Structure 1
Amino acid sequence: MAKKNESIDQTKRDKIDAEIVRLTKLLNDVDNKSKKIVESLIKNAAFMAVTLDELQETMNENGVVSEYQNGEHQWGTKKSPEVEIYNVMIKNHSAIMKQLTDLRPKAPPKTQDDGFEDFVGNR
């Protein structure tokens, strides 16, 4: 039984590592002062992205509502625990992704090509 859990943990670790690599490539142009901040944010963002995928799979399989018993004859339904965790984590993930996006260097504004350079160059 422990071997199965180890393979699940390794699979998750592999997915997290792949997401870290992906995000690191996207944020490669961040200045050196911000690199340490970026590394921590990337690790957290990668973990959350993989965990959010897992929560989505669980909600797709089991639904978003769970039944509960509160006393001998009192039954009801409520949001599943996965939905609660997902809602909190997606907000945190979005906040981290915004932070990472804000740390990227701003692209110079694009100038609108009016065709003048081509006109002069073709004369």
Structure 2
Amino acid sequence: MKLNEEQRKARDKLVAKEEKRLLEIYKDLPNEKLKVAQGLIKQAARNRVMLNYMWKDIQENGEYDLFQQSQNVPAYERERPIARLYNTRDQSYQRVIKQLTDLLPKENIQNETNEPSTDYL
């Protein structure tokens, strides 16, 4: 899908907004790690915006469509390319977010345990 100038500006604005949100989340990174993380944050922001566009398309048009190889062969359902791309992009997004989270200082990552929290004491 080719975007016109207005659509491109709208997408870029969403990417900038997501980038700002992620920078706020990862603001506690040490300065040397933040320099490395900036590229990951930009990529994560782009992926998330594109995932949202793709999700909207999938919701409106479904994951499958009817495909017919020729008039002599009956049509069958096949996965739409955007559904396959969505899954690939989502995996990429999850990897980038994991990389970013792994850069956080260990004290910022809460350890999950089966023990009840004593924060209220």
Q: Which range, TM-score by smaller chain?
A: 0.7 to 0.9
| TM alignment of 1:85-96, pairs within 5 A | 85-96=85-96
Distance, in Å, in 2 between the alignment partners of 1:44 and 1:73 is 45
Counterpart residue identity of residue 69, structure 2: N
Shift of the alpha carbon at 1:88?
0.5
Counterpart residue identity of residue 86, structure 1: Y
Distance, in Å, in 1 between the alignment partners of 2:93 and 2:29 is 19
Q: What residue in structure 1 maps to residue 14 of structure 2?
A: 15
Shift of the alpha carbon at 1:112?
4.8
Q: What residue in structure 2 maps to residue 35 of structure 1?
A: 34
Shift of the alpha carbon at 1:44?
0.4
1:33-84, Cα deviation, whole Å (9 max, x unpaired): 2122200000000000000000100001001101222123222211111110
SS in 2 for 1:78: strand
The gaps in structure 2 that reach 5 residues or longer are 112-116
Q: What residue in structure 1 maps to residue 82 of structure 2?
A: 82
Distance, in Å, in 1 between the alignment partners of 2:7 and 2:72 is 38
Q: Identity across aligned pairs (percent)?
A: 28
Q: Does 1:26 align with 2:14?
A: no
Kindly indicate which of the two structures has a greater share of residues assigned to helix: 1
Q: TM-score, normalised by structure 2?
A: 0.83
Distance, in Å, in 1 between the alignment partners of 2:118 and 2:56 is 45
Q: What residue in structure 1 maps to residue 49 of structure 2?
A: 50
Q: Does 1:71 align with 2:70?
A: yes
Of residues 83-92 and 68-77 in structure 1, the stretch that sits farther from structure 2 once superposed is 68-77
Q: What residue in structure 2 maps to residue 120 of structure 1?
A: none
Distance, in Å, in 1 between the alignment partners of 2:38 and 2:32 is 12
Q: TM-score, normalised by structure 1?
A: 0.82
Distance, in Å, in 1 between the alignment partners of 2:20 and 2:68 is 45
Distance, in Å, in 2 between the alignment partners of 1:66 and 1:8 is 26
Moved over 6 A (4+): 108-111
